């Protein structure tokens, strides 16, 4: 059975990000250039050749702004500066110039939903109800019982309101209390951010990754959300969030007005608006990508999907069916907020899908991650790798004593494992820093994990990912919006996810047995198993994927 998605009104204009491959740099953990144990801009400049060698063309850098680091930079105290631990504006300008010399676009994180409670705006706002910046934030009187104004909860757990005794009011924060939400209904906030965007655009950047893009606008009446399950403020944060139907705190129509305004600001610079559109319903993603606002929005379902052909197929198909211009979908398996794919896909103790030979769980996790990444790189849209994916890194080991993430009751719920420093070289410290103690431990890395060990090894993860990036960028059919599923019902090829892009077929075996792809012959463009030449034996082993030109 073949299913076509050719009735979508795909945009005809071609922008530079339509054939880009992204690479996320979590700045604290990428490379330390000054020896203080924390990654910085100096280190990033020194390691740009690694990203260019991989073949990526877009570098997204997480927040570098002055910040008290309650949430490691996502609590901004100054939108037009650089935190001294990362460098200064001069080294930032050098980063942009050096990146552009290598053909790399630079996209910086912008955090517009909230500021730090140490931002001068909020310091002033907290000084009293009549302060100049009071209405930059969302303040409300207590409910009749003295509690919060409504039942909204924080993404990080607990109520989304904190009481300010000095003014006898609550302020809203969808994240930590140290991250008060801005009131985007106030025109002064929008004007201030126009200036912030132009400040960085005038320095030569190529776009913004917009943090919490789905939540900037709020319901004007601040109505309570319908409760759909039991809420326990001691439960894990996602269970708390899922206890409510979020009708009024996120996905408000006013958010689209903000994006349309920003689109007009960035258009003269030919700059990208890349949204952290953290939703799990493809219809909601489509609502955030109307065409005249965000250029690309991430689809997060694949960061949580299990090792199941049906689940993977459905997770890919859902946004392709709903988003009008499929090139506006951002595809990723990993980020600085999620468990690394080789860890997530490593088999459990009772998992029988162990592949062939003596491959251990971590290696099978890597093969599964590469197979799924191959599926994503064959799709229309913007694929983005998270630093270390190209090295096949599993989550680093972080003890409870070294846990740094402000969320998560214990280390198993924290984001530290995916944030441990990059291993660059062989030997102690693995080239991340000259410091004896880094902000997070190296996490149990080995010499084989390092970029130095993998760069010239044709059998390494790095070589495989570099070949995959090259295949995408040199296969024009993979950049077009059309796509046809091959046997979507799974009857002919059980446990295989396969689709066709013109004369190119992309397929992955998500099962536990070898499967022959009957009727698929041609030239191998890319193979996770390292095969090349003609696809004369069209058999896929478990956790393998292939791109074939008929």
The enclosing H or E element of 454 equals helix 451-454
Split at pLDDT 50, 70, 90, the class of 408 is: low
Split at pLDDT 50, 70, 90, the class of 543 is: very high
Given the residues 276, 301, 338, 390, the one annotated as active site: 276
Task: Give the architecture-level CATH label for domain 120-172.
Answer: Alpha-Beta Complex (3.90)
Per-residue confidence (pLDDT) for residue 351, from 0 to 100: 53
Q: Does 537 qualify as catalytic in the annotation?
A: no
Q: Which residues pair with 105 in a beta bridge?
A: 58
What's the rounded mean pLDDT across residues 45-67? 98
Q: Which of 172, 176, 178, 162 is CA-nearest to residue 137?
A: 172
354, pLDDT greater than 80: no
Q: Give the long-range contacts of residues 226-235, CB within 8 A, separation 24 or more.
A: 227/151, 231/153, 233/157, 233/158, 233/159, 235/157
CB atoms within 10 A of CB 275: 25
Cα–Cα distance for residue pair 127/536, rounded to 1 Å: 74
Cα–Cα distance for residue pair 140/149, rounded to 1 Å: 7
Please provide residue 507's backbone torsions phi and psi, each rounded to the nearest 5 degrees: -145, 145
Instruction: Give the tens place of pLDDT for each residue, 460-503.
Output: 999 999 999 999 999 999 988 999 999 766 677 889 999 999 99
Instruction: Give the tens place of pLDDT for each residue, 378-404.
Output: 999 999 999 999 999 999 999 999 999
DSSP assignment string, 289-328: --SSS-SEEEE-GGGT--S-HHHHHHHHHHHHHH-SSGGG
Instruction: Give the tens place of pLDDT for each residue, 426-451.
Output: 999 999 999 999 999 999 999 999 99
The residues spanned by each domain of the chain are 14-112+185-217+252-471, 120-172, 482-549
Instruction: Give the tens place of pLDDT for each residue, 87-103.
Output: 999 999 999 999 999 99
Alpha-carbon dihedral sign for residues 538, 542, 548, 550 = positive
Cα–Cα distance for residue pair 298/107, rounded to 1 Å: 14
Average pLDDT, the chain: 94
Q: Does 276 qualify as catalytic in the annotation?
A: yes
Question: Fold match between 14-112+185-217+252-471 and 120-172?
Answer: no
Instruction: Give the tens place of pLDDT for each residue, 289-328.
Output: 988 999 999 999 999 999 999 999 999 999 999 999 999 9
Cα–Cα distance for residue pair 71/444, rounded to 1 Å: 24
Given the residues 109, 117, 211, 301, the one annotated as active site: 211
Q: Which CATH homologous superfamily contains domain 482-549?
A: Golgi alpha-mannosidase II (2.60.40.1180)
Q: Select 14-112+185-217+252-471's CATH number: 3.30.450.20, 3.40.50.300, 1.10.3720.10, 3.20.20.80.
A: 3.20.20.80
Contacts of 258 (CB under 8 A, 6+ apart): 112, 184, 190, 216, 217, 293
The enclosing H or E element of 484 equals strand 484-486
Comparing 380 with 359, the larger pLDDT belongs to: 380
Contacts of 234 (CB under 8 A, 6+ apart): none
359, pLDDT greater than 60: no
């Amino acid at each position: 059975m073949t299913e076509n998605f050719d009735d979508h009104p795909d945009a005809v204009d071609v922008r530079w990000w339509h054939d880009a491959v992204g690479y996320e740099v979590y700045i604290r953990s990428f490379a330390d250039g000054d020896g203080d144990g924390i990654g910085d801009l100096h280190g990033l400049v020194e390691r740009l050749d690694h990203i260019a060698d991989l073949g990526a063309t877009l570098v997204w850098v997480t927040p570098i702004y002055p910040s008290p680091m309650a949430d490691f930079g996502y609590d901004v105290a100054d939108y037009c500066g650089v935190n001294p631990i990362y460098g200064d504006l001069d080294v930032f300008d050098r980063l942009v110039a050096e990146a552009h010399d290598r053909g790399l676009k630079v996209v910086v994180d912008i955090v517009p939903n909230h500021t730090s409670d140490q931002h001068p705006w909020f310091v002033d706002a907290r000084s009293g109800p009549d302060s100049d910046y009071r209405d930059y934030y969302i303040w409300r009187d207590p409910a009749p019982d003295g509690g919060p104004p409504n039942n909204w909860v924080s993404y990080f757990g607990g109520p989304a309101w904190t009481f300010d005794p000095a003014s006898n009011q609550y302020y809203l924060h969808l994240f930590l209390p140290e991250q008060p939400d801005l009131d985007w209904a106030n025109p002064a906030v929008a004007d201030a951010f126009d200036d912030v965007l132009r400040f960085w655009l005038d320095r030569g950047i190529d776009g913004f990754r917009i943090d919490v893009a789905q939540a900037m606008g709020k319901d004007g009446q601040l109505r309570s959300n319908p409760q759909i399950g039991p809420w326990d403020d001691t439960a894990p944060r996602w269970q708390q969030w899922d206890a409510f139907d979020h009708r009024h705190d996120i996905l408000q129509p006013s958010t689209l007005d903000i994006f349309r305004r920003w689109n007009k600001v960035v258009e003269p610079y030919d700059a990208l608006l890349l949204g952290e559109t953290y939703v799990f319903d493809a219809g909601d993603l489509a609502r955030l990508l109307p065409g005249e606002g965000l250029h690309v929005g991430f689809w997060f379902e694949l960061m949580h999907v299990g090792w199941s052909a049906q689940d993977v197929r459905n997770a890919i198909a859902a946004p392709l069916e709903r988003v009008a211009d499929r090139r506006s979908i951002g595809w990723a398996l990993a980020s600085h907020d999620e468990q690394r794919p080789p860890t997530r896909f490593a088999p459990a103790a009772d998992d029988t899908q162990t592949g062939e030979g003596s491959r251990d769980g971590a290696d099978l996790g890597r093969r599964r991650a590469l197979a799924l990444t191959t599926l994503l790189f064959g799709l229309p849209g913007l694929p983005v790798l998270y630093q270390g994916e190209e090295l096949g890194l599993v989550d680093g080991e972080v003890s409870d004593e070294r846990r740094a993430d402000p969320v998560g009751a214990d280390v198993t719920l924290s984001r530290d494992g995916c944030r441990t420093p990059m291993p660059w070289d062989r030997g102690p410290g693995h080239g991340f820093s000259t410091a004896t103690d880094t902000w997070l431990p190296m996490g149990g890395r080995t010499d084989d994990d390092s970029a130095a060990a993998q760069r010239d090894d044709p059998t390494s993860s790095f070589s495989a990912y570099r070949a995959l990036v090259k295949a995408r960028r040199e296969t024009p059919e993979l950049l077009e919006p059309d796509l046809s599923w091959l046997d979507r019902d799974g009857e002919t090829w059980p446990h295989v996810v396969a689709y066709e892009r013109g004369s190119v077929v992309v397929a992955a075996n998500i099962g536990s047995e070898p499967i022959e792809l009957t009727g698929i012959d041609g030239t191998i463009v890319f193979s996770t198993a390292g095969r090349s030449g003609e696809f004369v034996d069209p058999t896929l082993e478990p956790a393998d994927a292939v791109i074939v030109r008929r």
